Structure 1
Amino acid sequence: MNNDIAYVDAEFRRRFIDEAGRVATIPRKDIYRQALLRYATSRFEARRTYTEQEVNFILLDIVDDHAWLRRMLVDLGYLERSDDGRVYRRIAT
């Protein structure tokens, strides 16, 4: 398997994303889960803050289990969350 990020992201889009831009099945392989996180992160603007409700709304456009995806984005450093959980921000990459 080619581990080039652009290749993996393209393969992820081809295999997991439907015509509406939604992911029906969460990938089992970590390499594709990372692609899912990059895909989800691309929906957030840099230097903008979001409420939890706004984050949930954006993520529901991608997957049904938005809470899981939100936790993964925060836990793996794609989004940062304020200590009180009210504000989210995309981490610059």
Structure 2
Amino acid sequence: MSRSVLPFVARDVSSLARSLHRELGALDGKPGHVQLLNMLARSVGYRNFQHFRAGQAAQERLEAVPLPDAPVDHQQVERASRHFDAAGRLLRWPAKAAHRELGLWVLWSRIPAAEVRNEIQINLLLEEWHVFGDPALLRRALFEAGLLTRTRDGREYRRAELPPPPDARALIRHLGRGT
């Protein structure tokens, strides 16, 4: 059986080292291969190595599926882009549901994938990406739209890995170039 290569990325090497140091210090003796894999996976936000591997497999499946060349409503994308400033921050909560949905996809695209965050950390991210001062509204809207998942107690939030619709992809690309 061939071994699949799983890319491993740690956004912050310092927190990776702290996490590994803490876990290695709690062990009695030398860790085994599976224990080391689990430690590495936990240090970047997964529950264990199997969770990490399942996430990688899901990402590969999503990337392997060719997206249909669905038409993009460029007029709708242009109108939704008016709710963002030159820095790509949401200026106001759109009145139209279609514009709100596209705006939520833009915010979703900025949340790091496969990272667990608490409510305060999600709010801090959202505060950077809008100017009207209501991160709770945005957090709840992302959750209700199914773009953000959370535990029952609301302690852990994670971006839902979904393919954005064509209009959302177009708006994300447009704002990435600068409006």
Relative to the length of structure 2, the TM-score reads 0.46
Deviation sequence 1:13-67 (CA, Å, 0-9, x none): 2x11112222222111111000111011011122111111110011111222110
Give the ranges of 4+ consecutive aligned residues of structure 1 lying more than 2 Å apart after TM superposition. Answer: 7-11
1:38 aligns to 2:100 (yes or no): no
* 5+ long unaligned stretches in structure 2: 1-70, 163-179
Match of 1:52 in 2: 119
Query: How far apart in 2 are the matches of 1:17 and 1:50?
Result: 25
Where in structure 2 are the equivalents of 1:14-93 lying within 5 Å? 15-63=82-130, 64-93=133-162
Note closer, same or farther for the CA distance 1:58–1:40 as it changes in structure 2 (3 Å cut). Answer: same
Note closer, same or farther for the CA distance 1:11–1:48 as it changes in structure 2 (3 Å cut). Answer: same
Match of 2:80 in 1: 12
- Report the structure number with the largest CA radius of gyration: 2
Query: How far apart in 1 are the matches of 2:83 and 2:119?
Result: 25
* 5+ long unaligned stretches in structure 1: none
Tell me how large the CA RMSD over aligned residues is. 1.7
Q: Using the aligned pairs only, state the percent identity.
A: 34
Query: How far apart in 1 are the matches of 2:118 and 2:80?
Result: 28
**Which AA in structure 1 matches 2:152?**
D
The CA deviation at 1:10 is 4.7
Query: How far apart in 2 are the matches of 1:26 and 1:41?
Result: 15
Larger strand share, 1 or 2: 1
